[in-house]
Structure 1
Amino acid sequence: MWTCPTCTQSFLRTNQSHSCLEKTEADFLRGKSAVTVDLYHHFLAQYRTIGDFKIHPAKTMISLAKNTRFCSIFQFGRNFLDVYLPLDRVYDNTLCFHKIGQLDKQINHFLRFYDVEDINEEVLHYMRLAYALDAERGRK
């Protein structure tokens, strides 16, 4: 693991690209509706049942990481939360992803949550998969 001397974030690779911002989790939640804040906290609580992680606020999103970033929360809407999970292949045999896009070798699967019940067993399956892929990357 490498720790950036400027922002003290930890990374799997030395000099890994990132943004050294002073933005906090509170900055993203400031002014958001109770619905959105509750969704965010529920989402984190569900991920904590899968495993431990660190929260990495960046310029435009909050990422969750164990070894690498395995999930990003990129939009805190008025009454929703937008998240993407980087997975190793396309999982298009489900209705839980409203969009799937590839960026280099990473295949991002996009989810939108309006209610805590939207984080169901199927979504939890893909959340566990993203977390397991992170653990795999950490062993390489």
Structure 2
Amino acid sequence: MAELSALWRCPRCARTFANRNQSHACRPLGDLDAHFDGKDPAVRETFDRIVGIVRELGPVDVLAEKTRIALHARMSFAAFTPRIHWLDGHVVLAERLTSDRFTKIEVYSPRNILHAFRFHDPTDVDAEVTDWLTRAYAVGHQLHHR
């Protein structure tokens, strides 16, 4: 089993990354609440339900970036863009899953597969989504590399 290296912290923006000098949009994080200004309350409730599930799995950083909100461990494993009436999101998984709920699947490498979805209501976050988040959390900690 390969041991994972310590995280590298960007000296300018203080974000952590699994790889030293990793390319990124180096800018300060924004205000999480600002992402939800003018959005339906269900959009924030849906996001909060997702974060609650992930926090039950273990530590996670919620990064309010300019255009999205990322969930980050050693690497970002999920990201969300709040819209007025829905929440667009994706999880990064180590294998391709099949679900009618995925709006797009993009393969970046054999163990880095983006699965996109759209949720309208907190009840959309069910046992199937909990499974996706659990798998993505393991990818975020790079457990699939061990």
Q: Report deviation, 1:137.
A: 4.9
Task: Check 1:137–1:17 CA distance in 2 against 1; reply closer, same or farther (3 A cut).
Answer: farther
How many Å separate the matches in 2 of 1:38 and 1:2?
A: 33
| 2:68 corresponds to 1:61 | yes
Instruction: Give the match for residue 131 of structure 1.
Output: 137
Q: Report deviation, 1:13.
A: 1.2
Q: Report deviation, 1:69.
A: 0.6
Task: Check 1:118–1:89 CA distance in 2 against 1; reply closer, same or farther (3 A cut).
Answer: same
How many Å separate the matches in 1 of 2:102 and 2:57?
A: 20
How many residues are matched?
138
Name the SS of the counterpart of 2:22 in structure 1: coil
Identity %: 26
How many Å separate the matches in 2 of 1:49 and 1:96?
A: 23
Which stretches in structure 2 are left out of the alignment for 5+ residues?
A: 1-6
Q: Which digits, 9 at most, give the CA deviation of each residue in 1:73-121, with x for residues without a partner?
A: 1x211221111011122212x2232221224553210121111111111
Aligned residue runs from structure 1 range 80-91, under 5 A? 80-91=86-97
Under a length normalisation based on structure 1, what TM-score does the superposition of the two structures give?
0.86
Task: Using the TM superposition, name which of 99-108 and 16-25 deviates more.
Answer: 99-108
How many Å separate the matches in 1 of 2:86 and 2:34?
A: 17
Are the aligned partners of 1:68 and 1:137 in contact in 2 as well (CA < 8 Å)?
Answer: no
Q: CA RMSD in A?
A: 2.0
Under a length normalisation based on structure 2, what TM-score does the superposition of the two structures give?
0.83
